[in-house]
Chain A
Amino acid sequence: MRHHFILRIVAKLLIPLILLFGLYVQFHGDFGPGGGFQAGVIFGAGFILYALVFGVEKAGNVARLTIVRVMVAAGLLLYGSVGVVSLLLGGNYLDYSVLADDPVHGQHLGIFLIEVGVGITVAAVMITIFFTFASRGRS
C-alpha cells in the first residue's frame, strides 16, 4: 500500500462527501428522488471504497463487524416496531396516521422512521456482504 498515492488521497477526499451525500439522500427522499434504499447503498459504497483502497482490516476497525451485524437486524426491527407501535396506539399495522395527533404529521413521522430503518439495514447488509467476500480471499 506504499503506492497508489493518488488513489488514497482522492479516496480520502471523496469518502466524507459520499457519506454526506448518502445522508442527504436519506433525509431528502421525501421531497426529491431518494430514500432509504438508495441512501443505504450509497452509504455502504462509501465504506466499500474505503475497504478497497485501505484494505479490509483497516476498514474493519472503522466499521466493526459486530456493530454492523447488529445494525443488519436493528433496521428491520425498527421497521417492524413502528408497525407494532401504531398497532398499540389503536391503528392498523403500519398505519402511521395514529403516530401523532395530526394524521398528516403522523404519516410523515412514520415514513421518516421506516426509511431510516430501511437505510440502516441496506447499508449494513451491503457492508457485511462485501466484507465477507473480501476477507474470504485473504484467509
Chain B
Amino acid sequence: MEHLIVIVLLSFLAITAVAVVMLHDLFAVVMLFGIYSLLTAAIFLVLDAVDVAFTEAAVGAGISTVLMLATLALTARKEKTSLRFAPIPLLVVTITGAALVYGTLDMPRYGDPTAAIHQHVAPDYLQRGPRETGIPNVVTSVLASYRGYDTLGEVTVIFTAGVGVMMLLGSSRRGTKRTRGKR
C-alpha cells in the first residue's frame, strides 16, 4: 500500500515536471513548481523522512515560490520564446539519462534493509544517539552534535547568501545602476 502511494506520487511528480518543461507562462511555471515541491514533501513523508518533508513543505512550496513570484514581478511574466524543436539537447539528455538508468541496475532495491548504506554509521547513530545526547529524534542529534561542523558550514552558506542578496539588491540607488543600461 505504502509502495503504491509512492509510485502514484512519483508519477504525479513526473507529470508536473513535463508541464514545467512545456509551459511558457512563467507564472504558471512557478505555481507548478510550488505543486512539485508539495508533492515532493508528501513523498518524503511516506518515505519516513518527516524532518525533510517538513522543511521541503515550508521552504520549497512556501519561500521559494514567493521569491520566484517576487522576481517575476520585477522581470517579465512571459517567456519570449521560439517554439523550436531542439534535437541535439534532447539527444544529450536522453543519452545522459540512459547512462544513469544503466547505472541504477546495480543499485540496491528500494527499501532493501541489507543495502550498504544501512550497515555502516547509521545503526551506530541510532543506538548511540538517544543514549549519548538524551534526544530521541536521531535526525536532530546527528545534525547538531555528530555532524555539527557540517551544520556550521551550512549556516555559513545561508548567511553568505543573505549577505549576497543584500549586497546585490540592497541599498544601491537608481542612479548608479542606470549608468550601464543602454535602454
Touch test A–B (CB under 8 Å): yes
Q: Which residues of A contact B (CB under 8 A)?
A: 25, 29-38, 41-42, 44-45, 48, 52, 69, 72-73, 75-76, 79-80, 83, 93-94, 96, 103-105, 107-108, 110-111, 114-115, 117-118, 121-122, 124-126, 128-130, 132-134, 136-137, 139
Q: A125 touching B159 by the CB < 8 A rule?
A: yes
Q: Which residues of B contact A (CB under 8 A)?
A: 50-51, 53-55, 58-59, 62-63, 66-67, 70-71, 73-74, 132-137, 139-141, 143-145, 148-149, 151-152, 155-156, 158-159, 161-163, 165-166, 169-170, 174
CA distance A62 to B15 in the complex (A): 42
Name A127's closest neighbour in chain B (CB-CB): B162
Tell me, rounded to whole Å, the shortest Cβ–Cβ distance linking A39 to chain B.
9
CA distance A66 to B136 in the complex (A): 38
Q: A45 touching B132 by the CB < 8 A rule?
A: no
User: Among the listed B59, B70, B170, which residue makes an inter-chain contact with A137, where contact means beta carbons less than 8 Å apart?
Assistant: B70
Tell me, rounded to whole Å, the shortest Cβ–Cβ distance linking A65 to chain B.
9
Q: B165 touching A128 by the CB < 8 A rule?
A: yes
- Of the A-B pairs whose beta carbons lie under 8 Å apart in the complex, a sample of 30, sorted by A's number, is A29-B140, A30-B135, A31-B137, A33-B53, A34-B51, A35-B139, A35-B143, A35-B144, A36-B144, A41-B63, A48-B63, A69-B166, A72-B159, A75-B159, A94-B152, A104-B134, A105-B134, A107-B134, A108-B134, A108-B135, A111-B135, A114-B148, A122-B158, A128-B162, A129-B67, A129-B161, A130-B63, A133-B165, A133-B169, A136-B74
Tell me, rounded to whole Å, the shortest Cβ–Cβ distance linking A51 to chain B.
10
Name B70's closest neighbour in chain A (CB-CB): A133
Q: A122-B155, A133-B165 are in contact. List 17 more A-B contacts (CB 8 A).
A: A31-B137, A33-B54, A34-B54, A45-B62, A48-B63, A75-B159, A76-B159, A80-B152, A103-B132, A105-B134, A111-B140, A111-B141, A111-B144, A125-B159, A130-B67, A132-B169, A139-B174
Q: A118 touching B155 by the CB < 8 A rule?
A: yes
Which B residues are in CB contact (< 8 Å) with A104?
Answer: 132-134
3 closest pairs, A vs B, by CB?
A125-B162, A33-B50, A94-B148
Which A residues are in CB contact (< 8 Å) with B53?
Answer: 33
Q: A110 touching B63 by the CB < 8 A rule?
A: no
Q: How many A-B residue pairs have CB under 8 A?
A: 135
Tell me, rounded to whole Å, the shortest Cβ–Cβ distance linking A104 to chain B.
4
Which B residues are in CB contact (< 8 Å) with A134?
Answer: 70
Q: A33 touching B159 by the CB < 8 A rule?
A: no
Q: B143 touching A130 by the CB < 8 A rule?
A: no
Given contacts A31-B135, A111-B133, A128-B166, contact A94 B149 (CB under 8 A): yes
Q: B63 touching A121 by the CB < 8 A rule?
A: no
Tell me, rounded to whole Å, the shortest Cβ–Cβ distance linking B156 to chain A.
6
Which B residues are in CB contact (< 8 Å) with A37?
Answer: 55
